[in-house]
Chain A
Amino acid sequence: MGDWPIAIGTSELLDQGLNTASTTLTSVTSSATPNAMGSWTQIVASSPIDAQMVHVMLSVDDSTRDSLMDLGIGAVGAEKIVFPKMLLTNSNNDRMAWSFLMPVPVKAGIRIVARVQTSSISLVRRIGLHLMGRSFLGFSAMGRVLAWGADILTSSGTLVDPGTVANTFGAWSELVSSTINKVRALYVMVGNNNLSVRGTCAAHLQIGIGAAGSEKVLIPQMQLRSQTATDLWTPRVFGPFFAQVPAGVRISAKAQCSITTATERLIPVVVYGVD
């Protein structure tokens, strides 16, 4: 593998923000105020390469709380958010790790940072990155990531209720009334509503577009699962879906669940659009 593949591909993969002495990622601590963003924590002082996309690794390994994490770039005091309000979740104080590909470029020499808010104080979430170098032709780089449905008052997502009839779709829940710009890719992240007890159940989640009462399914059934051992909806991230959504579109979600137990059937949802 050369440094500059001619066609589409990545030239190199560089890990950043890892603590090899303890085999963990960079710790990011939430603020001393519930549901308020903490301070920026540096992951990388200076990106060593022009990255065309970033592989994001996340873990939660302490108290059960939904959390919203911002990934940003920029000098101290001038940080800009590139991926807002990533929904991180766990249950039963269990440790979980997951990862996803973020098709957003980061130039060489850029400082990369993260911050987090939780509904409890001073909780640790962790993040590490792989910077993916450019090929000669490269990908069509994407720009901003926008979050739709994040609830900063609870550090979670919009609650989607499958309703009181098992295995039957509930009503649509609006995530955003009108998107402000066209996006080319979507991610869906799922939280746990700070629940430490959730029965064994399955759910199907759909994302729709269109006005209230005339929604059309954009992303059909995504499979969710919870078990009594971990009390947690899994998986926690879906995508990227390279779906193009124009500006001015209303986005909503609905679900069906195999159980009707109040609270346990609820699914916090945040959708992310990449322009």
Chain B
Amino acid sequence: MGDWPATLGHGKIVQYGISPSNSLGTSTTSGTANAKSPWTQLTPLSSISAHGFFLQILSQGLNDNLVDVGIGESGAVKVIVSNVLYTCGSIADQLFFYAPVSIAANSKVWARHQSTGSSGDTIYVSALLCAHGFLGLRPVSKFVTFGAMTSDSGGTEVDPGGTANTKGAWTEIVASIAIKVRMLYVAIGNRDLATRATMSLFIDIGIGASGAEKVLMSNLYCLSEDGGDTWTPQMFGPFFTQVPSGTRLSARAQCSSATINERLFDVVLYGAP
């Protein structure tokens, strides 16, 4: 595989933020609960011009986390992916997803996070940067986040309702998106719950005005196990679906259990313009 495949595809794939001494990623440590940590640099300078990257996040703590990725010089870091929801119950189901966001060569790449945990909560972040093919995939400049709740480091709470295996009401994620998006991801949060029984979810993402929602993505499947107490998976996508600006986005779900609290989950949506 050369550095410049003639057609669509990655050229080089280069890792950043890897810590060989402990087989982890770069640690970022929060200060105050629900406040962003300082930026931590993943790489001194990116050696390739990347059209996208795979983001890898893991931790060990029972917390909701919102993770930012940025580029730029120290003191002038610009966010290119904001508030990626990463959540743990009794286990950490590690997050791995592809962000088709371009990063120019010789950029400094940074990460930071906020957590519901108290001071000193640590997560580990690394990235696999993917170079262009000759024609390349069309990258985007940044992601837009819908439904993240920085006040509790989570997302918008969705309630499947009190009847098992029956769809609950729609919950608004965003009243009106400011830009047209052509790609969506759906992140699922655990709401800091340390105990969650064995149960499953079907989640719908909808568009349209309140009372006139239409299903855009139907029945995304999540599971929780009483051993792990965490909804899995934590991220769906990418879905190459085009949504015009001005559209209202919402979510609803059914759950196999009607147990209050445990049936609840958080949703954050990420759109690529």
Residues of A at the B interface (CB closer than 8 Å) are: 1, 5, 7-10, 13-15, 18, 20-25, 55, 57, 59, 61, 92, 94-99, 101, 128, 130, 132, 135, 139-140, 167, 184-185, 200-204, 209, 218-225, 227, 229-230, 234-235, 238, 240-246, 256-258
B1 touches A223 (CB 8 A): no
Instruction: Check A203/B13 contact, CB under 8 A, given A15-B218, A55-B239.
Output: no
Chain A residue with the shortest CB-CB distance to B20: A167
| Chain B interface helix/strand/loop/mixed | strand
Contact with A along B84-111 (1 / 0, CB 8 A): 0000001111111010000000000000
Total interface residues in chain B, CB < 8 Å = 70
Task: Give the residues in chain B near A128, CB-CB below 8 Å.
Answer: 219, 221
CA distance A229 to B60 in the complex (A): 11
B10 touches A242 (CB 8 A): yes
Cβ B221 vs Cβ A18 within 8 A: yes
Does more than half of chain A's interface fall in helix, strand or loop, or is it mixed?
A: strand
Is B10 within 8 A of A230, CB to CB? no
B25 close to chain A: CB less than 8 A: yes
Q: Are the C-beta atoms of B198 and A95 separated by less than 8 Å?
A: yes
Give every chain A residue within 8 A of B241 (Cβ-Cβ).
1, 9-10, 13
**Is A258 a contact of B23 with CB atoms below 8 Å?**
yes
7 closest Cβ contacts across the A-B interface? A220-B15, A97-B223, A95-B225, A23-B256, A202-B23, A15-B219, A223-B56
B165 touching A21, Cβ below 8 Å: yes
Q: Which residues of B contact A223 (CB under 8 A)?
A: 18, 24-25, 56, 58, 94, 96, 124, 126
- Find the B residue at minimum CB distance from A256: B23
Beyond A20-B254, A59-B223, whether A221 also contacts B10 by CB under 8 A is no
Q: Report yes or no: A25 in contact with B130, Cβ–Cβ below 8 A.
A: no
Give the residues in chain B near A200, CB-CB below 8 Å: 60
Task: Please state if A95 and B223 are interface contacts (CB–CB under 8 Å).
Answer: yes
Tell me the chain B residues, 126-174 only, with Cβ under 8 Å from chain A. Answer: 126, 128, 130, 133, 137-138, 164-165
Q: Which residue of B137, B201, B239 contacts A13 across the interface (Cβ within 8 Å)?
A: B239
Q: Once the chains bind, are B233 and A1 in contact (CB under 8 Å)? A: no
Are A61 and B223 in contact, CB atoms less than 8 angstroms apart? yes
CB-CB nearest in chain A for B256: A23
Is there an interface contact between B242 and A9, defined as CB atoms closer than 8 Å?
Answer: yes
- The 5 listed contacts between A and B (C-beta, < 8 Å) are A13-B217, A18-B221, A24-B200, A59-B200, A221-B128
Query: Are B93 and A221 interface neighbours, CB within 8 A?
Result: no
Is B224 interfacial (CB 8 A cutoff)? Answer: yes
Decide: A242 and B232 in contact? CB cutoff 8 A: no
- Interface contacts beyond A18-B221, A238-B54: sample of 19 additional A-B pairs, CB < 8 Å, sorted by A: A5-B242, A8-B240, A22-B256, A23-B200, A59-B223, A61-B198, A94-B225, A95-B225, A96-B223, A97-B233, A98-B233, A135-B240, A184-B7, A201-B23, A202-B23, A221-B18, A227-B60, A241-B54, A256-B20
